[in-house]
Amino acid sequence: MLFRIFFAVCILAWGAVVSAAPLKLEINQGVIEPVPFAVPAFVPETSGAEGMAQDLAQVVAADLLGTGLFREIPQSAFVGAITSFSSPVQFSDWKVVNAQVLISGAVSIEGSNITVKFRIYDVFAGNELGSGMRFSGQVSGWRRMAHKISDAVYSRITGEAGYFDSRIVFVSESGTKSARKKSLAIMDYDGANVQYLTNDNDLVLAPRFSPTGDRILYTSYETGFPRIYLLEVNGLRKRALQDQPGTMSFAPRFSPDGQSVVYSLERNGNTDLYEMNLASGQMRQLSNAPSIETAPSYSPDGTQIVFESDRSGTQQIYVMDRAGGTPKRISFGDGRYGTPVWSPRGDMIAFTKQNKGRFHIGVMRTDGSEERLLTASFLDEGPTWSPNGRVIMFTRETQGASGVARLYSVDVSGRNLKPVPTPGGGSDPAWSPLGR
Amino acid sequence: MNVGHYISGAMHVGVLAWLAVAGVFTPEPLDIKTVEVSVLTSDEFDALMRPFEAPVVSDDMVLPEIPAAPEDTPPQAPAQDSSVETQVVTPPPVADFEAPVPPAPVDPIEIIAPEVTEDAPVLAPPSEDIPQTLPTLDPDTGPIDADRVAPRPVARPDTLLPVGPETQAPELDAQAPDTPAKVEVTPSAPEAATTQIITEAVETGTGAPNTSLRPKARPARPDPVQAEVAEEEPVQTETEEPTGPATDPVSDALQQTDILAALGEALAEPELPAQSPPLSANEIGGLISAISNCWNVNVGAEAANIAVTVYFQLTETGRVVPNSVTFVDSSDGNSLAAQAAFQAAQRAIFGCQAEGYQLPIEKYDQWAEIELTFDPKDMRTR
């Protein structure tokens, strides 16, 4: 009898162990498709906020839709509605329309002040993603509030920072190709709120944001020779960097700490890389070769510099320590490589490649491996990274005498290639850090 | 004509010569054998055919003399003698092949060739596999050695419960804090009983279930009529608490203890997982495929470099138990990306369950709890 009890206990214990061990499986293949989301019109909590409530929802929807990672459920398909910001959400109403993410919000306007609240829900899980947030500010800044909401949604869904609350500085172009006029302009990342920083009297090139977004470096032919200027965005005050007679300086870029600038300096027919401390004006030569070294870009940690050089006979990409040393070539594919830009994440380098009469925007690892070409056209050049390192914006110029330069953006995966709206032509874009 | 032509010609001549000498062109000999035949006359043919006529069966048949072959010698085939061929031969008595009683070491046997054969078979020395009739044993002589469990009788243990690590399982102690004091049980088995299970197999009324436990059937999707009938006539489950014989004093004593009550209750628990066969590859593949269709990998994001493991439970209808989806582990990455990977996995699990994942209900204990790892390693380069 006791034997039976003993064996029964053993069986029970074994059964308990077996039942406690869940079935372990692994999935390696998924799908790549946009996440369906629903953004009903925000709830107007004050009179006169009805229009703003609808506009906010539209901007948020446009931001998410423009990433290519989300798919909007049209409001006409909704079977439920958000009538109160604090009321519990009927998830079944949103499951029916296959919305995986629901964004609800409310807006109130008092005088010139606006307050926006929002919540993000995971419909299938039936819970809220993170906590709700609220922004307050001037009514004129409502678009930026909408972008901040989009950033929050993007961040909570994808796990990486957004890029919607950012701006683009670029060279605005007008006129025919033979008599092209160029000026500096700045706008929201989506093409809204365009402002011109310079007139079109002088040729300007290659603007670059400072890490704080309040200053811009650019090259101008104001004196007849290329020269680097530092422009304060808010006051539009500018000053030329310390210059040396008989030299040309161009292709500037801020260091990650914003204290220094790396650029190319042409002297006696030879172009090398230099670094200048903005506070002291002290210069330091980084390269010394008879070839042309240009388009330098810091790594995010500021310890390395990637640049292009023709020291091997053709235009290739090299990486060198910021302190100096022998550069290491990292591009070995067919064609010519130029305009390298280090990703804000630090894991990739975007570049322009010219091969067999076509131009490409591509990315590669910082050691030159895993090269991938994202675009191909008659002329693609000048890539710039979004603040989160997920999107690349560049210049695409069409062929012929009537060809026009436009801004385009593409996801780092090569998907979602689309033009960026600008008032006229645009080239040489540079993305600001997140939040300006 | 250059040197190349001479070389080519020489090589061709060499190859042809080699083929001729090697006999490549010589046909292989056919596999034909010549057989000599002779011509018979009709009388000679009749004489030859006479022995194959139907034999005449008679009751006064004289059996051939069986040689005094050794008892272990197998039956010999009849000799190819014409007088024997016409007889219906009765095989030698089987009794001749019975093993000697009682068994004793087999001495080497002298091979004696039977007279009816010209060539005696060469027999291998007899082994112990020779068929033997087991000796008739006195029932009082004690148990028989059983090679299966205990080759030899063992000394009676101090207690019937074997003392070992298994009996000291902590789960038992933890689950039965009210275990009563040790019950003194007088062993009823014979003194020479072994530890083999068969010694207790004759006992009845053990209290153990008659059949192994099975999970409940899938809830009825069928017509409501059958459901109503089922409600009116509840089926007595096999896992109903068994009742042992009331006459067993040991069982009576133990039934009064908490441990037996706990055991009986546990055995009667219908949700107790029974061990069922593991899920087949197709069943697992179907589940993985269903979830994969809803697992949206954000290629290019940091979350696409993170493998996240998720635990969740399923109901018997294959639906995800609400609030059972929990984060188990992630390979690497910052917390924000890992959280996004977990949320994507969560959406996949919930999103494609529809009316429930199609899994065999008879194996519910195998898939009631699932720990699923979402590793987008095959998606990163896409």
Measured CA to CA, the distance from residue B155 to residue B157 in angstroms comes to: 6
Long-range pairs of A412-420 with CB within 8 A, sequence gap ≥ 24: A412/A348, A412/A363, A412/A374, A412/B300, A413/B299, A413/B300, A414/A372, A414/A374, A415/A68, A416/A66, A416/A67, A416/A68, A417/A374, A417/A375, A418/A66, A420/A168, A420/A190, A420/A191, A420/A393
Task: Report yes or no: B117 at the A interface, CB cutoff 8 Å.
Answer: no
Same domain, A250 and A290: yes
Helix (H, G, I), strand (E, B) or coil at B48: helix
Residues of chain B with Cβ-Cβ distance to A13 below 8 Å are 169, 171-172
B364, B316, B314, B371: which is closest to B345 by C-alpha? B371
Nearest CA in chain B to A98: B351
Same domain, A108 and A182: no
Same domain, A146 and A255: no
Across-strand partners of B312?
B370
Task: Report yes or no: B262 at the A interface, CB cutoff 8 Å.
Answer: no
Measured CA to CA, the distance from residue B107 to residue B98 in angstroms comes to: 16
- Reply yes or no: is the peptide bond before residue B222 cis, omega within 30 of 0: no
Residue after which a domain boundary falls, among A136, A158, A180: A158
ipTM of the complex: 0.73
Q: How far is CA B379 from the centre of its chain?
A: 41
Residues of chain A with Cβ-Cβ distance to B296 below 8 Å are 30-33, 35
Nearest CB to B298: which of A10, A29, A158? A158
Specify if A13 maps to a domain: no
Same domain, A247 and A141: no
Mean pLDDT of A153-160: 89
Report the amino acid identity of residue B252: D
Cβ–Cβ contacts within 10 Å for residue A378, how many?
13
Mean pLDDT of A388-416: 92
Residues of chain A with Cβ-Cβ distance to B283 below 8 Å are none
A327: left (phi over 0), alpha (psi -120 to 50) or beta: beta
Specify if A118 maps to a domain: yes
Q: Could you give the domains of chain B? A: 281-378 (3.30.1150.10)
Pairwise CB contact (< 8 Å): A69 & B372: no
Pairwise CB contact (< 8 Å): B347 & A413: no
User: CATH code at A107?
Assistant: 3.40.50.10070
- Nearest CA-CA distance, residue B255 and chain A, Å: 11
Task: Report yes or no: B251 at the A interface, CB cutoff 8 Å.
Answer: yes
Same domain, A254 and A314: yes
Looking at per-residue pLDDT, the higher value among B7 and B250 belongs to B7
Residues of chain B with Cβ-Cβ distance to A30 below 8 Å are 292, 295-297, 348, 374, 376, 379
Same domain, A76 and A177: no
Measured CA to CA, the distance from residue B371 to residue B369 in angstroms comes to: 7
Measured CA to CA, the distance from residue B251 to residue A250 in angstroms comes to: 98
Mean pLDDT of A38-49: 93
Measured CA to CA, the distance from residue A436 to residue A143 in angstroms comes to: 14
Residues of chain A with Cβ-Cβ distance to B372 below 8 Å are 24-27
Measured CA to CA, the distance from residue B167 to residue B107 in angstroms comes to: 50
Angle formed at CA A235 by CA A232 and CA A241, multiple of 5 degrees: 35
Looking at per-residue pLDDT, the higher value among B222 and B293 belongs to B293
Q: Which of A334-343, A380-389, B74-83 is predicted least confidently? A: B74-83
Long-range pairs of B255-263 with CB within 8 A, sequence gap ≥ 24: B255/B207, B257/B179, B257/B180, B257/B183, B258/B176, B258/B178, B258/B179, B258/B180, B259/A5, B259/B176, B259/B178, B259/B179, B259/B180, B260/A5, B260/B207, B262/B175, B262/B176, B263/A5, B263/A8, B263/A9, B263/A12
Nearest CB to A23: which of B259, B366, B379? B366
Question: Which residues are CB-contacts of A44 (< 8 A; sequence separation ≥ 6)?
Answer: A50, A52, A53, A106, A107, A108
- Residue B125, pLDDT > 60, answer no
How does the average pLDDT of chain B come out, rounded?
Answer: 60
Tokens at A233, concatenated? 């965005």
Same domain, A209 and A306: yes
Measured CA to CA, the distance from residue B12 to residue A115 in angstroms comes to: 98
Same domain, A115 and A256: no
Give me the pLDDT at residue A133, please.
Answer: 92
Measured CA to CA, the distance from residue B266 to residue A23 in angstroms comes to: 23
Nearest CA in chain B to A347: B302
Nearest CA in chain B to A24: B371
Query: In the sheet where A181-188 sits, what is the strand order?
Result: A195-196, A181-188, A167-174, A425-431
Residue after which a domain boundary falls, among A127, A158, A189: A158
Specify if A196 maps to a domain: yes
- Residue A128, pLDDT > 70, answer yes
Residues of chain B with Cβ-Cβ distance to A23 below 8 Å are 279, 366-367, 369-371
* Strand A70-72 to A35-38 pairing: parallel
A135, A158, A145: which is closest to A386 by C-alpha? A158
- Residue B370, pLDDT > 90, answer yes
Range of the domain at A251: 167-431
Helix (H, G, I), strand (E, B) or coil at B343: helix
Cβ–Cβ contacts within 10 Å for residue B142, how many?
13
Task: Report yes or no: B343 at the A interface, CB cutoff 8 Å.
Answer: yes
Task: Report yes or no: B12 at the A interface, CB cutoff 8 Å.
Answer: no
Nearest CB to A9: which of B172, B251, B288? B172
- Give the alpha-carbon dihedral of A386, A39, B326, B216, to 10 degrees: -140
Pairwise CB contact (< 8 Å): A30 & B368: no
Probe site for chain A from B265, B271, B347 (most A CB atoms < 10 A): B347
Measured CA to CA, the distance from residue B128 to residue B148 in angstroms comes to: 19
Residues of chain A with Cβ-Cβ distance to B371 below 8 Å are 22-25
Mean pLDDT of A60-79: 93
Same domain, A153 and A223: no
Same domain, A254 and A200: yes
Tokens 């002290």 found at:
A282
Nearest CB to A124: which of B291, B347, B375? B347
Pairwise CB contact (< 8 Å): B336 & A32: no
Same domain, A426 and A338: yes
User: CATH code at A188?
Assistant: 2.120.10.30
Report the amino acid identity of residue A161: A
Looking at per-residue pLDDT, the higher value among B28 and B200 belongs to B28
- B257 exposure class (CB count in 10 Å sphere: 0-12, 13-18, 19+): middle
Residue pLDDT, tens place only, A326-381: 999 999 999 999 999 999 999 999 999 999 999 999 999 999 999 999 999 999 99
- Residue B189, pLDDT > 90, answer no
Helix (H, G, I), strand (E, B) or coil at A134: strand
- Nearest CA-CA distance, residue A270 and chain B, Å: 40
B379, B373, B286: which is closest to B331 by C-alpha? B373
Give me the pLDDT at residue A159, please.
Answer: 86
User: What percent of chain A has pLDDT above 70?
Assistant: 95
Give chain A's domain count.
2
Nearest CA in chain B to A23: B370
Q: What is the secondary structure of B127-195 as a DSSP string? A: -TTS--PPPP--GGG-PPPBTTTBSS--PPPSSSSPPSGGGG-HHHHHH-TT--SPPP----S-TT--S
Pairwise CB contact (< 8 Å): A125 & B350: yes
H/E stretch holding A184: strand A181-188
Interface A-B, measured as beta-carbon pairs within 8 A, has a size of 170
- Residue B137, pLDDT > 50, answer no
Mean pLDDT of B327-344: 82
Specify if A20 maps to a domain: no
Residues of chain A with Cβ-Cβ distance to B334 below 8 Å are 159
Residue B42: band (very low, low, confident or very high) from pLDDT cuts 50, 70, 90: confident
Measured CA to CA, the distance from residue A429 to residue A339 in angstroms comes to: 12
- Residue B41, pLDDT > 80, answer no
Residues of chain A with Cβ-Cβ distance to B376 below 8 Å are 28, 30
Residue pLDDT, tens place only, A312-328: 999 999 999 998 889 99
Contact A362, A343 (CB under 8 A): no
Task: Report yes or no: B16 at the A interface, CB cutoff 8 Å.
Answer: no
Same domain, A124 and A215: no
Residue pLDDT, tens place only, A404-415: 999 999 999 899
Angle formed at CA A423 by CA A74 and CA A195, multiple of 5 degrees: 100
Specify if A78 maps to a domain: yes
Looking at per-residue pLDDT, the higher value among A136 and B102 belongs to A136
Contact A156, A130 (CB under 8 A): yes
How does the average pLDDT of chain A come out, rounded?
Answer: 91
Residue pLDDT, tens place only, B261-296: 555 555 554 454 457 888 898 889 999 998 998 888
- Residue B202, pLDDT > 50, answer no
Give me the pLDDT at residue B34, please.
Answer: 52
Kindly report the backbone phi and psi dihedral angles of residue B96, in degrees, each rounded to the nearest multiple of 5, phi listed first: -65, -20
Pairwise CB contact (< 8 Å): A22 & B200: no
Report the amino acid identity of residue B184: E
Measured CA to CA, the distance from residue A187 to residue A197 in angstroms comes to: 11
Cβ–Cβ contacts within 10 Å for residue B154, how many?
13
Interface of B with A in 188-217 (CB under 8 A): 197, 200, 203, 206-208
Residues of chain B with Cβ-Cβ distance to A155 below 8 Å are 336
